[in-house]
Amino acid sequence: MKSIIKLYGNIFLILLTVSVFSQNNKLEVVYKADVARSSSQSKPSIHRKSIDKVFETISTIEMSLFYENGKGVFKVQNTLSPSDKMNNLEFNVSKVILDVVDVYFYDTQSNEVVVLKKDIDYEFHVFYSLNRFNWTIESESKKISGINCYRATTVNYYYDKNNVKEEFKVIAWYAPNVSVPLGPIGYSGLPGLILELEEVGRRRYFATNIFFDTDFEIKNFYEVNKGERISEKDFNVLLKSKYEHFNNLIKN
């Protein structure tokens, strides 16, 4: 009985906090993710154990969205030491699969999402518009952690190893009562916080904890003053040239 009362008490506190939340408050959302696994990855093979380890690691990785006064940062939590991260193959492969090798910075005042891209040869800040997605807002709703959320859909894309543009559907569940237009891995522009997001056929991110007015300083995470700025268009041109150079090296 006490556990039931405590559960409803926690939900009541979350709902009360949500009802008075504004863009001037601090917020931390913890996300986890799962990845669509193809049938070929489930078949016995000499790489089966390694693949299984990667998927096990994916299920343990936690990511956080920190938000304060119009600025946000989305990044992997520091669950491993720097040396462990460098030497842990499954961890590094998992970050690539979840698209969290980079750090995502949001600025609602300048209407920008800036992605920090680090490589051996370069360090760039690739900038996008905060409202670059053409969302279709739907009437379907559900509760996530006691918070009422609505469904929205859009289309995104990526470039494969041959630099061919591939599109995929995106489904988001956002909370209008939490007036933060942000979400995981750079998704943004909805009239509320994204608590669940699915790139259909690829991967899904879902909130596991929401902390209001937590003790952090966003300036300690915000690194957008470092590195060269480059537009999405120019960065894609750069990637294309790198792919072409790599393919030419293989052919020769």
Secondary structure, 3-state, 182-214: ECHHHCECCCCEEEEEEECCCEEEEEEEEEECC
* pLDDT in the model for residue 154: 98
Select from 162, 173, 175, 137 the least CA-distant residue to 246.
162
pTM of the model: 0.81
Cα-based torsion angle of the residue sequence 225, 190, 151, 8 in order, rounded to the nearest 10 degrees:
80
- What region, left, alpha or beta, does residue 112 occupy, with left being phi > 0 and alpha being psi -120 to 50 degrees? beta
* pLDDT in the model for residue 82: 53
Q: Give the whole-angstrom CA distance, residue 212 versus residue 20.
A: 11
Q: What is the DSSP letter of 167?
A: E
Domain span at residue 233?
A: 2-251
The encoded tokens of residue 34 equal 């799962």
Counted domains in the chain = 1
Each residue's pLDDT expressed in tens, for the chain with a length of 252 residues: 544 444 444 444 444 445 445 555 889 999 999 998 765 545 555 567 778 888 888 888 999 999 998 999 999 986 655 555 555 788 888 888 888 888 899 999 999 999 887 765 667 788 899 999 999 999 999 999 889 999 999 999 887 767 778 899 999 999 999 999 999 999 999 999 999 999 999 999 999 999 987 788 887 777 666 667 888 788 877 777 766 655 565 565
Rg of the chain (C-alpha set): 19
